[in-house]
Structure 1
Amino acid sequence: MTMPVNALSSALQQMQAMAAQAAGDASPLEQQSGAATPTSFAAAMKASLDKISDDQQKAVGESQAFELGSPNVSLNDVMVDMQKANVGFQFGLQVRNKLVAAYNEIAQMSI
């Protein structure tokens, strides 16, 4: 199943907005030097994980509403939101995998 271009564009815009927000968390001095503080990285990670969680909860809620026969919830909306939640989860999982791999690589470095 392929996603419509609108959904991909929307996801791209959301990622760009989150990246801009994460860049805005750093102080002007840190932005000039290119250094990121642990708190800004942690805040960006928390915001991303919260967004993934919210998308999953919304998809489950819409799915349950559709199953109960709510007239204002269509199958198309349920399927799109489920796919958005799935893509967000897979993205988060891949980020976690990269972070674990980077941590393991750093841990194996000799001092």
Structure 2
Amino acid sequence: MPDRAIEAAVKLLAEAGRPSRIILFGSYGRGQGHEDSDLDFLVIQPQVADPRAEMVRLRRVLSPLRLPVDVLVVSEAAFRTWSDTPGNVLFEAAQEGRVLYEAP
């Protein structure tokens, strides 16, 4: 997947989601992405009232790019709580992912 497609996705997520951080994880985060891989984004927001609804909304924001993408949305508090605990996706993202956006 071209880097410019990833950059376009991050730009849309940053504009729409007002995140504190966006992490690319999974195969692309590890640098092992291939043509059949999807993009896995972890969007960390200061607070999230309804994470599921926010995931759906952000996937819709990315739909014009026509990319295979998964978006996970969590609050800063949830990320702090779970990113040090092995066996969950937040730990995986924290350990192997690449931070592509940090709020100024």
Q: If the length of structure 1 is used for normalisation, what is the TM-score?
A: 0.29
| Higher share in strand | 2
Larger radius of gyration between Structure 1 and Structure 2: 1
